[in-house]
């Protein structure tokens, strides 16, 4: 198993353990509620085994927490944050910085709105795709968060 997958598995096991303890349930009681053996639950909590998708779905319902929270965080919102469109940012988007500087403030604002709308649409399409993928495999969200964190490190 790749080390990043193992780290994710261990972190997920820790969240499962914390959620179970917070709910005041023993492994035996959780086993009765889910139909999974106490030994299997123990392996999941120790990060020794990758939890089954149907187990995670059941547990999120039992603990009354969002599946995304259980597996490591929510997907990004469909709308991005506001970003100031500077000549430098415009250049990264493929605009000539000198031409950008020559635009009126209203034209710059219109260009910023247009760029933001395009970015929001790309993000919305991505989120829809990621949610569909997560419905097939709930662990996908955790892997996605890991990849996004790595990308963020590279960008910064």
pLDDT at residue 75, as a whole number:
40
Q: Is the pLDDT of residue 73 over 70?
A: no
Instruction: Tell me: do 58 and 82 sit in the same domain.
Output: no
Contacts 24+ apart (CB under 8 A), 131-139: 131/75, 134/67, 134/68, 134/75, 137/53, 138/53, 138/56, 138/57, 138/67, 138/71, 139/8, 139/12, 139/50, 139/51, 139/53, 139/56, 139/71
For 87-148, the DSSP string reads HHHHHHTT--HHHHHHS-HHHHHHHHHHHHHHHHHHHHHHHHHHHHHHHH-THHHHHHHHHH
Indicate whether 81 and 8 sit together in one domain.
no
Specify the pLDDT at position 76. Answer: 40
Same domain as 86, residue 65: no
Q: What is the mean pLDDT of residues 41-66?
A: 87
Q: Tell me the average pLDDT across 83-87.
A: 63
Instruction: Give the residue from 41, 72, 103 where a domain finishes.
Output: 72
Q: Name the pLDDT band for 50 (thresholds 50, 70, 90).
A: confident
Residue 154: predicted pLDDT:
66
The residue range of the domain holding 41 is: 1-72
Q: Are residues 87 and 138 in the same domain?
A: yes
Tell me how many degrees the CA angle 83-71-149 measures, rounded to the nearest 5.
35
Are 60 and 84 part of one and the same domain?
no
Which of the four pLDDT bands, split at 50, 70 and 90, describes residue 4? low
Cβ–Cβ under 8 Å, residues 120 and 79: yes
Reference 134, options 80, 67, 49; nearest CA is 67
Give which of 8, 2, 1, 3 is closest to 142, Cα–Cα.
8
Asked whether residue 94 falls in the same domain as residue 142, the answer is: yes
**Structurally, how many domains does the chain consist of?**
2
Return the higher-pLDDT residue of 92 and 36: 36
Q: How confident is the model at residue 126 (pLDDT cuts 50, 70, 90)?
A: confident
The verdict on 10 and 42 lying in the same domain is yes
State whether 46 and 107 are in the same domain. Answer: no
Q: Say whether both 121 and 51 belong to one domain.
A: no
* Residue 139 shares a structural domain with residue 108: yes
Higher pLDDT pick, 61 / 140: 61
Q: How confident is the model at residue 142 (pLDDT cuts 50, 70, 90)?
A: confident
Q: Model-level pTM greater than 0.85? A: no
Q: Verify that 40 and 60 share a domain, yes or no.
A: yes
Identify the CATH number of the domain in which residue 61 sits: 1.10.260.40
Instruction: Give the domain-ending residue among 27, 48, 72.
Output: 72
Mean pLDDT of the chain: 77
Identify the top-confidence range among 40-44, 75-79, 92-96, 148-152.
40-44
Picking from 22, 48, 72, the residue at the C-terminal end of a domain is 72
Are 59 and 80 in a shared domain?
no
CA distance 119 to 136: 26
């Amino acid at each position: 198993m790749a080390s990043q997958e193992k780290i994710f598995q261990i972190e997920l096991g820790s969240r499962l353990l914390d959620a179970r303890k917070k709910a005041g349930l023993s492994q035996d009681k959780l086993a009765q509620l889910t139909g999974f053996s106490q030994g299997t639950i123990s392996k999941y909590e120790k990060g020794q085994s990758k939890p089954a998708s149907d187990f995670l779905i059941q547990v999120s319902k039992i603990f009354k927490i969002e599946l995304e929270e259980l597996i490591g965080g929510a997907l990004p919102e469909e709308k991005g944050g506001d970003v100031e469109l500077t000549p430098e940012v415009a250049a990264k988007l493929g605009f000539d910085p000198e031409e950008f500087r020559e635009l009126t403030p209203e034209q710059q604002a219109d260009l910023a709105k247009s760029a933001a709308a395009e970015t929001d649409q790309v993000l919305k399409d991505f989120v829809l795709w990621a949610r569909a993928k997560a419905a097939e495999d709930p662990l996908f969200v955790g892997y996605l968060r890991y990849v996004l964190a790595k990308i963020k490190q590279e960008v910064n």
